[in-house]
Amino acid sequence: MSPYYQIAQAVQDTSFFTAVRESALIYPIILSTHLSMIAIFGGLILLTDLRLLGVTLTGVPASDIVRWTRPLKWVGFLIMITCGILLGGAKLLTYYDNPYFILKLSLLGCVGIHALVFRKSVYWNPQALDDPKGPPRAAKVAACLSMVLWVAILSNGRWIAYWEGADPNASIRPVNVELVARLTNR
Amino acid sequence: MLQINYDPATNPLNNNEWAFPLFECIHISMFAMSVGTIALVDFRLLGVALRKYSPAQLLKATSLWTLIGLVVVVTSGMVIATTDPLAYYYNGAFRYKMLMLLIAIVYNYTIHRRVAMSQAAPAVNIVVGGLSLAMWMSVVFLGIFYAFT
């Protein structure tokens, strides 16, 4: 038995995560909150990215958009991560070796790297952002990468549920093969 | 029980491993875009952020993205619903979701829009923005609860 399996088992077996997993109402509520935050937080990211690309809100300095949306993004991000940890921890045994889960976490890591890389040149550089000739090329690259990363993260998040792994019962949602079987028997 | 002359087992979405989750991803990305851009105006109405700009300015800047998002999210949702239409039709959470969605869309293009475009009193802004956030959150919640009921 791999040490990862044992760690995953230990985490999901804690009384706290067991309670989250077994609750009929709490689990879907956390999942819904997780998804609502994607919507709200995603809108802020999208608006920032579009402004950096010079597509919308061009009457407003880009640095203002970056500065004014920052605290809200942090709030959304923290709620989203908290819900994510609750969801992941509660069913860690079905997630720890799920390639989509691993990819999603890696992409989240890339978001951190993205923030560090463009911190000086874009996000904390109001002078360059408000250049009368428009945001610098680095800002446009950062905006495009940000959109690609977030769409990839939410897509991988969805795909986690479709990985069957070694145990076909591990999937949390019936895959379409099962649905077809059910429909043909109707 | 409602009878329809349609066999969902023949639906390509039920016979391809990738098609269904792909449509779900499109659905989620686009609700993020539509609800997210609406939420931005709501945050301004609530006075939480971007206070330097008027709600009208933000609404004008985001309305095109909201509309594109709404069109794609509704279209992809209809496609997803074809995979098992009767199960959706008889699901309580789904029915409430459709009702809330209809109310939220109508509200968004009438009261919400009118208030955002005018210079209403802060109290009015807070009520209208808060209601809008609550409506759209409830649509997302009911969408998730479909799978749990």
Place A184 in a pLDDT band, splitting at 50, 70 and 90: low
Query: What's the maximum distance between 2 C-alpha atoms anywhere in chain A?
Result: 66
Contact between A44 and A112 under an 8 Å Cβ cutoff? The reply is no
Q: Which residue has the tokens 């680095």?
A: A138
Find the range with the poorest average confidence among A68-72, A174-178, B55-59, B68-72.
A174-178
Question: In angstroms, rounded to a whole number, what is the distance separating the alpha carbons of residues B57 and A127?
Answer: 23
How close B95 gets to chain A, by Cα (Å)? Answer: 17
Place A181 in a pLDDT band, splitting at 50, 70 and 90: low
**Quick check: A159 and B37 CB within 8 A?**
no
Number of domains in chain A: 1
Residue A32 counted as domain residue: yes
Most confident among A65-69, A164-168, B55-59, B69-73 (mean pLDDT):
B69-73
Question: In angstroms, rounded to a whole number, what is the distance separating the alpha carbons of residues A9 and B90?
Answer: 37
Question: In angstroms, rounded to a whole number, what is the distance separating the alpha carbons of residues A135 and A144?
Answer: 13
pLDDT of residue A178 exceeding 80: no
Task: Parse chain B into domains and list their residue ranges.
Answer: 18-146
Residue A96 counted as domain residue: yes
Q: Tell whether pTM > 0.80.
A: yes
How close B121 gets to chain A, by Cα (Å)? Answer: 22
Judged by a CB distance cut-off of 8 A, whether residue A28 touches chain B is yes
Test the A interface: residue of B137, B142, B146 with most A CBs within 10 Å: B137
Question: To the nearest whole number, what is the mean pLDDT of chain B?
Answer: 92
Stretch 89-148 of chain B: residues touching chain A, C-beta under 8 Å: 136-137, 140-141, 143-145, 147-148
Domain that holds residue A112: 3-159
Helices within B14-117 (DSSP H only) = 19-46, 55-81, 85-89, 92-107, 113-117
**Quick check: B33 and A43 CB within 8 A?**
yes
Question: In angstroms, rounded to a whole number, what is the distance separating the alpha carbons of residues A46 and A48?
Answer: 5
Residue A182 counted as domain residue: no
Residue A135 counted as domain residue: yes
Q: What is the pLDDT of residues A29-44, one digit of tens each?
A: 999 999 999 888 888 8
Return the amino acid letter for A3.
Answer: P
Question: In angstroms, rounded to a whole number, what is the distance separating the alpha carbons of residues B136 and A157?
Answer: 21
Residue A167 counted as domain residue: no
CB within 8 Å of A131: residues ≥ 6 apart: none
